[in-house]
Chain A
Amino acid sequence: MTRKSSIQQKLMKVIMLTSGIVLFMTCLAFFVYEYITARQLLKRQVMTLGEIVAANSSAALAFDSHPDAAEILNALAAESNIKAAALYDNDGNLFAKYPAEISPFFLPKHPGRLGYYYNDSHLEGFHEVKQGNTQMGSLFLRSDLRVIYQRFILYGVIASLFIIISFIFAWFISKRLQKTISMPILELAETATVVSEEKNYSVRARNRSNDEVGVLTKAFNHMLTRIEIQNAEITELNQNLEMKVKERTQQLELAFDALKQQTAFTERILDSSVDIIAVFDTELRFVTMNRLGEETYNLTRDQLIGRYLEEVFPQTRQSGMIEDLSRALNGEFVRHVDYISGVTKRHYENFYIPLEDKDGKVYRILTIAHDISDIMTANEKLQTVNTELEKSNGELEQFAYVASHDLQEPLRKIQTFSELGERNINNEEVLRKYLVKINSSAQRMTDLIKAVLNYSRLSKADTEFLEVDLNSVLHSTKVDLELLIQEKNAVINYGTLPAIYGIPLQLHQLFFNLITNSLKFNENTPVVDIATRVVDGNDVDDETMIVKGRKYLLITLADNGIGFDQKFSEKVFSIFQRLHSDKSIQGTGIGLAICKKIVENHQGIISVKSELRKGTTFSIYLPLLHLRTD
C-alpha cells in the first residue's frame, strides 16, 4: 500500500498517540519521582554533611578555635553545591563562615529553626553542634539547587531522547503492525469499491483473518453471492415481465384501438344527432357538447369543457334549466316540454337524464335539447289553420244549412210548379205561367248557388295583397251600379280616399255590396256618404280582431235607407239573413256576409249602426299595416 488510507492513518495516529501519551506520562511520573527524590536526596546529603561537619566542629566551638572551625567549614568546598556555611556559638553569634570571603550579610544573623528547608533558590538550614549531650553551637548550611536542576536537565535530555527514539521505534513498529488490522479492511474496502463502481458482483473479497474483519469479509462475500443470485432472479423476472408487458401492451393497444373506434363511433353518433347533446357533471360544469351544440352556440367544446353552465350561459338562470338540472342531479328523469332558450330564443323539448357511476351515484347529467321550434311554429300555424278551418267549417255548416234551406224553397217551387204543370199540361197558358215560375225559381237557385260559390271563394285566404287605390275602387263600383244609380237618382259622396294594401277584387266586392244595399234598401233618393279616418287600435272597442298596438283606417259608409232595428246589428252579417221578409226587395241575403268575410280577410272588422226609417251607417276598420304610407 503506497497510498496511505485513512484507516492506516487512523491506526497509526492511535498507536502513536497512545504511545506518546504513555511515554509522556511515564516520563512525567519519573520526573515527578525524580524531583521528589532529588530533593529528598539533597536534603539528606546536606543533612549528612551537616552531621559530619557539626560533629567535627564541636571541638572548635567548644574550644573557641575559629581557625579550626573555618578550616573544617572549608572542607565543604569539596561539595560544590554548598554555597555557604556558618557556625554559630551557643550565644547565637557567628563563629565561623564559609566561604571565607562571604559577607555576613548573606548569612543568617543567628541560628534559626533546626532542620533543612527548601526556599526558592536554596536548600538551607541549621544543625545543632553537639558534643555528647551538650550543644556547643549551631551549624548553618546553604546548598544551591543546581544539582537538582542539572539532574533534571539530564533527565530531560535523556527523556526526550528516549521519547524520540521510542517514537521512531513506535512509528516503525506500528507501521508494520497496523497492517494486520488495516490490510484486511483496505482490501475489503477496495473490493467494495470495485463492486460498486463496476457493478461487478462476481468479485469476492479475500478473507485474511478470523476476527471481526473476517466476519465482515465473509458477510460481504455472502451478500455478494446473494446479490448475484437475486440479480439473476431479477433479470429472469424482468425478462418475464417484459414479455408480459409486451403482451399486455399489445392487448392494451388493441383494446385502446377498439376503444378509440368505439369512442369515435359514439362521438360520431353524438355529432350526427339533430338534437343538441351536452353532458354536465355534479357541479354543473360542461363535460362535453356535441357538434350541433357547438354550431348553435358558436363555441367549441374545448371552450366549454370544465366551465360552469351558469358562467357560459347566464341566461339559463331564468330559463329554468338550472332547476331542471338540479332535479336531475337528484336522480329524476326530467322532461321539460316547452323550454324556451334564453340564448337562441328557440323552443326545445329538453330531456335531462341522470347518469350513474358504478356505485350507483349520479355523477353526470345527459342533456338532450330537441328543437321543436318548427313544430311549434307548424303547430301554431296548424292551430290558426284549425281555428280558421273550424270557423270555416262552422260557417260552412251554417252556410250549408241555410243554403240548403234557402235553396229548398225555389226547388220546392220548381217541383210544385212542375207537378202543377204536369197536371195542367194541356193548359198552355197555365203551363206557360208555371214554366215562368219554374224558370225564375231556377234562376233564383242559380243566383243563390253563384252567391254561395262566391262566398266560399272568399274563404281562400291566400290571395295576394296589392296596393289598392280606394278612389278607383269606388269609381268602378259606381260604373257597375250605373243603371241602379240612375234609376234611383242616387248620390254617392266620397272625398279623396287613400290607398291601402288589400285584395283588389274583394275590396271591390265589399263596396259593391254595401253600396248596392244602400241603394236597394231605400224608399227615397239614396244618398251615400263615404269617409275615411285613421284611428288607433287602442281606441277601437273590439276584442276579436283588433290588435291594440296597430293603426287602423276607419271607413264609414252612411246611407239614408230604411234602416233596421239595432238589435239585429250582428245578425245582419249572417248568411242568408234577410231582415226584410219583404219579397219586394231582391237579394240573396249573402251580401253582408260576404262583406264581413272580406273585411275579416283583411284582418279588420265591420260593424253597423242603424235606425228604422232613418238610415244605416257601416263602420269598417282595416289595419293600417296594409296601408302604404305616403
Chain B
Amino acid sequence: MRRACFPILLLLMSILTPVYAQDPTDDQVKANFLLNFSKFIDWPSDAFATPDAPFVLGILGIDPFGKYIDDLVSKEEIANRTIVVRRYNNLQDVLECQILYINQPWKTEEVLSVLKGKSILSVSDDPGFAKAGGIIQFYNDSSAVKLEINGLAAKEAKMSISSKLLRIAKIAETDTAR
C-alpha cells in the first residue's frame, strides 16, 4: 500500500498544484524577492514624479523572469501605486525605476555610477555587487537564494531598509562601510 501511495501522491500533487508545477526556480524566487523588496524598503517621496506614478520595477539586461514577474506584480500594488515591470536596454532610461535589476551584459560599475545618488534600489546577481556599492546582491547558499545588502549604499540612495530585511541578509562590508 505504502509503495503505491507515493506515486499517487505525486500525481495528486501535480494535479492539485496548478500554478507551480514544480518547486519555484531561482528566478522565480528572485522575482518574488524583487517584489517583496518594495515592502521592506521606503523610497523618499521625491523618488516619484507624480503621486500616481507607478512603481517601476526595471530590468536592465537579460530578463530571466519573463512573464512570471509581470503576473506577479500585476496582483499587487505598493502604497497605492500600481507596479509595472519595465525592461531597459538604455542606461539612461533606468532613472525612472524604483527597483532596478541589473543583469548581463551590463557592467556593475557602469550602472552604479549612473545610479549614484538616485533613489533606485539596485539589485544584481553579480558577485561583489554589494561590495561595489550595489544595494542588494543575490547569492546562492546551499541552493537557497540569499541576500547581501550594502546598507551604506542604501543610505546614499536615500532609501531606508527595514531592519527586518537587514536582519535576514548578509551585510556587505565595503571600504567605506561603517
Contact = CB atoms under 8 A, between A and B. Distances in A.
Interface of A: 55-56, 58-60, 62-66, 68, 91, 131-132, 134, 136
B144 A59 contact: no
Contacts of A58: 39-40, 164
17 contacts: A56-B164, A59-B40, A59-B164, A59-B165, A60-B164, A62-B32, A63-B165, A63-B169, A64-B32, A64-B144, A65-B168, A66-B144, A131-B36, A131-B39, A131-B40, A134-B76, A136-B36
Contacts of B79: 132
Interface string B155-176: 0000000101101110000000
Nearest to B38: A132
B29 A59 contact: no
Contacts of B78: 132
B117 to A, nearest CB: 26
A64 B145 contact: yes
Most chain B beta carbons < 10 A, residue from A56, A59, A65, A68: A59
Counting from the closest, the 9 A-B pairs by CB-CB distance are A59-B164, A62-B36, A68-B168, A65-B168, A131-B39, A59-B165, A132-B39, A59-B168, A60-B168
Give the contact-size bracket for chain B: 20 to 34
A13 to B, nearest CB: 67
Contacts of B168: 59-60, 63, 65, 68
A59 B33 CA distance: 10
B29 A64 contact: yes
B147 interface: yes
A91 B19 CA distance: 11
Contacts, number: 48
Nearest to A65: B168
A75 to B, nearest CB: 12
A55 B39 CA distance: 12
Given A68-B168, A134-B76, A62 B145 contact: no
Contacts of B145: 64
B33 to A, nearest CB: 6
Contacts of A59: 40, 162, 164-165, 167-168
Most chain A beta carbons < 10 A, residue from B40, B144, B168: B168
Contacts of B32: 62, 64
Contacts of B33: 62-64
Contacts of B20: 91
Interface string B23-45: 00000010011001001100000
Most chain B beta carbons < 10 A, residue from A56, A60, A134: A134
Contacts of B144: 64-66
Nearest to B76: A134
A216 B7 CA distance: 99
A33 to B, nearest CB: 39
A63 B164 CA distance: 10
Given A59-B168, A64-B29, A136-B36, 7 more contacts: A59-B40, A60-B164, A62-B33, A63-B165, A64-B145, A65-B144, A68-B168
A62 B32 CA distance: 8
Interface string B109-147: 000000000000000000000000000000000001111
Most chain B beta carbons < 10 A, residue from A60, A62, A91: A62
Contacts of B167: 59, 68
A58 B38 CA distance: 13
